[in-house]
């Protein structure tokens, strides 16, 4: 089903994710106000905003984990509330609380969770899709650590396990929440290299939620700046000082350094 759908879709231009006049209230607090923008196939899109700007709310709305108070969220043209083709989406959370305690699952077991396609009575006794799981671990460079407990890994390694878990689903859209929070600079660069490669070679659309302006400037092809509502949507490089200041509420200026792009 997935493959044929993929082939029917023309490349570029069609929306993977659409917010249409979306509002969300927590009780009486307005978290998201009349948000409209879309993420198109092939983009590396970012949702940028300060803390408390509603970007995590938007992410949860996008994944159908919460439902808008008003308006519509569409995943591949279908209402996120009724969306069932979860195989098309790979979600990488900022962190998994359980992985920090003494959660016993190995990297392999966590990635194998990504192959879930519905109840399987024999799931305990067999591991399907072994080669796919090993491929995904290889892609993120963790083949050697496949039998390690995820709870004994570094933050960066855990993040890559979660990415592999998303990739094993062979998704069309990868959704990442603060993907490199708490990761050192070298690992961050490695992580973004990988994202760019996945975007180019496997034409996976990427949507990341972040408050890191530097990463957005370097990595994203489009950005939606959110402060409850959309302050700016377009290429990060066309963003004006005024819009950035409006976003963060303080005067801001972006200096682009060519050296950041030269080494690619």
Partner 1 sequence: MPEIFTYDFMVRAIIGGALVGLLAPALGVFLVLRRLSLIADSLAHVALMGVAIGLLTRTFAPGVALGTTSLAALAIEQLRIRRMLPGDVALAVVLYCALAIAVVIISVASGFNVDLFGYLFGSVLTMSPTDLWLVAGLAVVVVLFVTFFFSELSQTSFDPDLARTSGVRVNLVSMALAVLTGAAITLSMRVVGVLLVGALIVIPVMASLRVATGLRASALLAMAIGVLSSFIGIVIAYYANIAAGGAVVLVAVGFLIVAFGWSWAKAKLRMTRHPEAS
Q: Residue numbers of the site for partner 1 (CB under 8 A)?
A: 60, 63-65, 84, 86-87, 89, 91, 93, 96-99, 102-106, 109-110, 113-114, 116-125, 147-149, 165, 169
Non-local (6+) Cβ contacts of 256 within 8 A are: 217, 237
Q: Is 63 or 198 the residue whose CB approaches partner 1 more closely?
A: 63
Angle 112-173-184 from CA coordinates, rounded to 5°: 70
CB of 172 to partner 1, least distance (A): 14
Q: Considering the complex, what minimum distance in angstroms separates the CB of residue 85 from partner 1?
A: 9
Q: Least Å distance between CB 244 and partner 1?
A: 31
Give the DSSP per-residue string, 109-120.
HHHHHTT--S--
- Smaller CB separation from partner 1, 113 or 241: 113
- Angle among Cα 104, 109, 111 to the nearest 5 degrees reads 130
In the bound complex, what is the minimum distance in angstroms from residue 105's beta carbon to partner 1? 4
Indicate the residue among 69 and 245 with the shorter CB distance to partner 1: 69
Strand partners, 30: 25
Residues 56, 172: Cα–Cα separation, whole Å: 21
Nearer to partner 1 by Cβ, of 6 and 117: the residue is 117
Closest approach of partner 1 to the CB of residue 264, in Å: 31
For residues 136 and 126, give the distance between their C-alpha atoms in angstroms, rounded to a whole number: 18
Beta bridge partners of 106: 149
DSSP state of 168: T
Query: CB-wise, 65 or 256, nearer to partner 1?
Result: 65
In three-state secondary structure terms, 46 is strand
């Amino acid at each position: 089903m997935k493959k044929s759908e993929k082939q029917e879709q023309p490349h570029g231009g069609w929306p993977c994710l659409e917010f249409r006049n979306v509002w969300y209230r927590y009780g009486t607090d307005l978290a998201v106000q009349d948000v409209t923008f879309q993420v198109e196939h092939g983009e590396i899109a970012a949702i940028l905003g300060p803390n408390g700007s509603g970007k995590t709310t938007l992410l949860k709305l996008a994944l159908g984990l919460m439902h808008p108070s008003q308006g519509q969220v569409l995943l591949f043209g279908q209402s996120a509330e009724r969306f069932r083709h979860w195989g098309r989406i790979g979600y990488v959370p900022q962190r998994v609380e359980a992985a920090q305690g003494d959660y016993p699952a190995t990297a392999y077991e966590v990635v194998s969770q990504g192959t879930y396609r519905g109840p399987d009575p024999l799931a305990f006794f067999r591991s399907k899709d072994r080669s796919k799981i090993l491929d995904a671990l290889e892609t993120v460079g963790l083949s050697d650590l496949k039998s390690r407990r995820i709870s004994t890994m570094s933050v960066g390694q855990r993040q890559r396990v979660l990415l592999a878990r998303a990739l094993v689903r062979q998704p069309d859209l990868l959704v990442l929440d603060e993907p490199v929070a708490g990761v050192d600079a070298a690992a961050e660069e490695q992580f973004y290299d990988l994202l760019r490669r996945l975007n180019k070679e496997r034409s996976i659309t990427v949507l990341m939620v972040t408050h890191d302006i530097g990463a957005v400037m370097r990595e994203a092809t489009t950005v939606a700046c959110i402060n409850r509502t959309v302050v700016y949507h377009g290429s990060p490089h066309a963003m004006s000082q005024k819009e950035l200041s409006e976003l963060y509420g303080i005067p801001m200026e972006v200096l682009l350094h060519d050296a950041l792009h030269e080494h690619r």
